[in-house]
Structure 1
């Protein structure tokens, strides 16, 4: 296995974990008692997008039955990278266009619970 592939793959995994960490930090550091409606709704949409992304990833695992265990394919990391980016964009677009309604329900509950 090529050493540059390991470095690239490590960078790839680091980037994938960054999105979850950013969302967690945003939710933990934000005081929603003085948040405006737009900021609160944006946080709820980010959560719904992340949730959809995780669902799509699990769904993808059910159809990846032809995936080879051979590490000799130099393009596999690139394919995985673009698959992950595609799933992220699909989740983000789905949330912005229609969504499941999770963001709206979460938004309404937070407004009610925090008396915003």
Structure 2
């Protein structure tokens, strides 16, 4: 029995919402780290953002690969590939990553050190 996959299923809307939530979480976490002068939390937040960036990069790279027909495109396959890419991006960012987190940390920690506690209340 073959299931017809012609139903219009859009996973992009859910992904955009997830990306928005992750961006909001990054901003809140960054503000807390800035407020508390917490450099360890700042580095963790930079790695999380790098993970989101790498995941988006994987998703866009995967979209450029032509379908060869060997394995049929399906909702299940797209879901699995999305989860796989997300996990690979998280694992990559936990290690050395691609260098984005380190560069962001350098810049943001410089701003963190130059800011006095009175400035953060403004």
Q: TM-score, normalised by structure 2?
A: 0.69
Listed as ranges, the matches of 1:1-116 within 5 Å are 13-14=13-14, 16-30=15-29, 31=31, 32-66=34-68, 76-115=74-113
Aligned residues: 105
- What is the CA distance between 1:36 and its match in structure 2? 1.1
Query: Which has the higher Rg, Structure 1 or Structure 2?
Result: 2
| Unpaired segments ≥5 residues, structure 1 | 68-72
CA contact (8 A) 1:12 1:81 kept: no
Shift of 1:28: 2.8
Dislocated runs of 4+, deviation >4 Å = 9-13
- Please say which of residues 77-86 and 17-26 is displaced more in the overlay: 17-26
Aligned-residue offset at 1:57: 1.2
Structure number with the bigger relative contact order (C-alpha 8 A, sep ≥ 6) is 1
Q: Deviations over 1:50-95 (max 9, x none)?
A: 111111111112213336xxxxx7x811111001000101111111
Report SS of the residue matched to 1:80. Answer: helix
Higher helix share: 1
